[in-house]
Structure 1
Amino acid sequence: MILVVANNDLELLALRTAVESLPEGFPPVRAHGGVGLDQVDDLPSIDGVRVVLVRLHKGRSAWEAPFDELRRTCRAGGIALLAFGGEAGIDAELAGLSTVQPGIVAEAAAYWAAGGPRNLAHLLRFVADTVLLEGFGFDPPQVLPAAGILGDRPYDPERPTVAVVTYRANVLAGNTLPVEQLCDAIESRGANARAVHCYSLRPGPNGTEPAALEHLRGADVVVTTTWAAGGVVRDGDARGISTGEAWTSPLDVLDVPVLQAVVATGPTAGWAERDQGLSPLDVTLGVAIPEFDGRIIGPAFAFKEVVDDGDELGVAISAHRALPDRLERVAGIAVRLANLAHIPSAEKRVAIVLSAYPTKRHRIGNAVALDTPASLLDLVRALRADGLVATDLGDDADAVMARLADGLTYDQPALSPAQQAMAVGRLPVEDYTAWFATLPESLRVATEKAWGPAPGTVCVHDDHLVFAGIDLGGTAVAVQPPRGFGEDPIAVYHTPDLPAPHHYLAFYRWLDVGWGADAVVHLGKHGTLEWLPGKATGLSGACTPDAALGDLPLFYPFAVNDPGEGTQAKRRAHAVIIDHLPPPMTRAETYDDLARVERLLDEYAKVEALDPAKLPAIQGQLWDLLVTSELARDLGVEAMPDPDDFAGMVGHIDGYLCALKDAQIRGGLHVLGTGPRGDALIDTVLAITRQPQGAVPSLRATVATELGIDLTAAGTRDTDRVEAACRDRLLALADADWVETAAGADLTLRWVTTTLVPNLRRTSDEIGNLLGGLAGRHVPAGSSGAPTRGGAHVLPTGRNFYSVDPKAIPSGLAWDVGCALAD
């Protein structure tokens, strides 16, 4: 008997087919393991076994103790052992632990590397003839190209093209049914489908492009089911001295959207039962890591199911099987993204949706850190300049927001006649109820339990669901409908398990099929769609965000310093993030009573040195002001100190005022696509250079050292001196138009001129990349974080940010632990 041990389900799947082709009289073949082998220590039975083949992805460490025990058992029983790693090359450690001649191991390894049922069949024949001295005969390995086209599908040059990428190993194992079905669904939606297989999307040796790239050119969208990111960190990012991009992917040269279609490592049943949706492993491999490449996160559409109970091989065999509605969702998103490159700008329709925080009219359209009204006007102008046919909103942002607020109800479930007359659109009740009936039963039951039978009562007038907004032709501006109604609308807004009203669901349905949107832009952080009930990742059709948004492409300008909330939209609403700058930061300074306290402190210092007899009077004035301004309470001082102790309190006050005055506060709001200028630029550079930026030292620390000031013990006066000196140096650079020669030898100032200011000047990428995404182009990836907290490497903005910074991995602690484990 020949025993095959492997920790890869695809190889066992291929082995099953290989065994069926073996000639009569061939020694029995049994298998052990699968993807779960790494988590168990049980050894296979070796009764009657004459040869053991072990194939371990990740090498001996993946199954170390059981492997060593198996090897000892084989040596003791005179059983031949051939051990192989999971990569194409020879695993020297495992080869050395084999008990047959090295040449036999090397030749056998070539069959594994070539893969597939045919090669595995001849591997078994090779082992039978060379180790067991049988005479069945064998052929040399046949190598499948590293990349190629799967099948022969029709091509129409007038249609958009979607390329679907799968692993070469799936082709070798015959595990291609989900990909073939996905291609069928893409074709049924009016696009060309091209199935491409490859070993990896990572760059080749010496940085050469992946072999698959030649088969992906000409596609309008790439749907990839492969896991690992293909990106790399370039030298010279914003942590260094020279300019450069922080992260690039080999697929960037295609300049098309890349959709990650998750192929899960577990069965449908486990995913369906988990509120979290995907397993931690699937989130890591199929979501978080692909985000580094700027991939759009689509649904999980295929799951691993048992297709053979193992009567023949002795181990159950699994293969991937597609879930029909998830497969259709992936196909729909892919084709809608591909269409963006083919719809002329003059015919394209882009919906702009603003957030609606409940209960407050003045917060309609509010977005954290973003001047939404000004950004809206600029975005509409940019769309018009890009060829979109739309009416200009004009220059009065307040009038536009008042018009939107007048047409919206955010505290009552019905529109007034005047509001109905201002409506941007209507969806017939019969259309909504027919669509609602197609949704999964669990979603329908939950919605009707909360809001009554379809279509509900919210904004239903004359047998139509009515929506507020402004129709400009090629674009419509609308406020996202209320999340719900009740005595405490803010609590309703944040209730995670409350279904959305019928009107909310109908709004997105109307955007899609009623108004005819080709894409949606949600302007600013954050709306409610991505927070609606459903799984955390790998959403099902019963998850509200998936049901509401459907296949519509979603672009989402979002503050770069809030990756946690932006990631929800990426993972729960297939959003393409367009990150934008935080507001310009400035120094808080002092004012009113605080400024008067500061002046009294200055006077106290002079009197103390020159005329101590006047100290009691100054102390009394200072104490009275501390009480009336309530600073005494903030400082935790209940009574005026004795004269001998007053100097200690003065030092305490000075430190407190220094911290308040030196704090960074927002100096306004950011306008999408507009970088800081003039004083705002100086304030922004000052704020960013307060902290070291990787290897670039803090400007404030450098200046303080030159002035002989210890910042950790500095009072208000010394801190002000340092701040003024830093500002003077930056003003001099600004007067010289930020040229490097004006920076002299100062490392930080050189970085400011060569990297920081050029990146801030690229803030226009926020609009540029949004327009590019709407035109069907790739939005580049970038890291996220706060530029003023040592995170200037997130610049320039306008990127599809990811929440995990690969340049910060491993952390210092993780590195120390790893070193300790290795030692």
Structure 2
Amino acid sequence: MPRRREAIAALEAQAAVWVGQLLAGEPYDPAPGMEAQRVLTWLETRLLPDLRQTPQELTQLLRGLGGHYVPSGPAGAPSRGRPEVLPTGRNFYGVDVRAIPTETAWDVGQRAAQAVIDRYTQDQGEYPRTLALSVWGTATLRTGGDDFAEALALLGVRPVWAGPSRRVVDFEILPLSYLGRPRVDVTLRVSGFFRDSFPHLLDFFSQAVRAVAQLAESPADNPLAAQVAQDTQAFLDQGLPPEPAYLRVFGPKPGSYGAGLQGLIAAQSWETPQDLATAFLNWSGYGYTGAAWGEPARDVLCQRLQNTEIVLHNQDNREHDILDSDDYYQFQGGLTVAIRTLTGENPIIYHGDHSRPPYLKIRTLKEEIQRVYRSRVVNPKWIQAMMRHGYKGAFELAATVDYFFAYDATAQTGADYMYQGMAQAYLFNPQVRAFLTRSNPWALRGMAERFWEAHQRGQWRAVDPELLAKLRRIIHETEALIEQRGQTAQS
């Protein structure tokens, strides 16, 4: 294995040299072989010309806003081996929803399922029984359904494709002898966009759950069947229909989107993590099956989460990270804080890195937060890059602080040294402080207030009193500056 890694590293280093020579218009040294030359020719004649057209994004946006025609193109992520989506700036279209998950997505999904199981067994010494997975529509469009395929693979169910279009027409239950492991009881928390774009997949998953629940397998091998049998009897004893026992797909109320946490976090309008859990459960407590679409099912969701061992969220590309979008903490953090409120402790929280499908990585959420913190959040190169973008760059710095804080509030992933490092890099670096004061004092005030809030809520514990005094001073100074600017603008 070390030799293989060394060989791969050497090949990647040589490839970087050739690409650099291509971009510089220099002759290749050493001369590439036949296969390498074929790839370099493709880069020169196809990929680079398309990449160089990406500045058209702004032009096409303005054309669209003006009511003019915008050329169409496929959706997807170039970094996921989808060069056909270039050039960007086109009116993108989706996919044939009847072909999701694709066979390629199934390959990724079943390997991802095994990677999660392997990581959990290494960490805990036993097979996982239950897992909650958030599934997004945008990621499904990019990947062809990696996340949905992973959920099926965890259940031990494989899609069946047919015809030249390779549409999904059925599913096949994989025997335990083929799986080589117990099945996993999977609960899905789907986004509103996924619900609206792929309604048939919600019914498909519900049918798969029902089929697996009816298998004559032991509770150790099929925890889903055991849980359904227990819940069915409980509902019958109460004189209630047993259908909710099979419910494993939850999402927002029909016509609604999101997870309900963004407004609370932004406005600081919550007292305890239980308030965040309540909001998440209220927003997510609607069940989706073929028979019942968007019916209130908050109590059933609570039952599912009380028994959940793993919270998993996957990321399919590296064009962004989990600290530059509020959706990550709303979904993964929301599931986590809800489970902690219901059970008194955090579940195991995993982040699935699917950005390079041949090299799937499963990290704990804390490991992923630490990785993003080191590689971007306090990286001077990234901070300098944001400073070249004026007001918007300052906003991105403030947003990073907000999302880090929110993840910590919901999933308890922060550490004192991270708060300290961000404060030093963003607020107490003279160059960055001057940039923020000049370009976006609102972002400066917002970050100082967020750090202060983190201390007040006990998330940032060991804080030097002198640093707190500096934070208070920044808040007061920026308040005065913003007020002064407002008065100048009015006059």
TM-score class normalised by the smaller sequence: under 0.3
Could you state the TM-score of these two structures normalised by the residue count of structure 2? 0.26
Please say which structure displays the higher CA radius of gyration. 1
Could you state the TM-score of these two structures normalised by the residue count of structure 1? 0.18
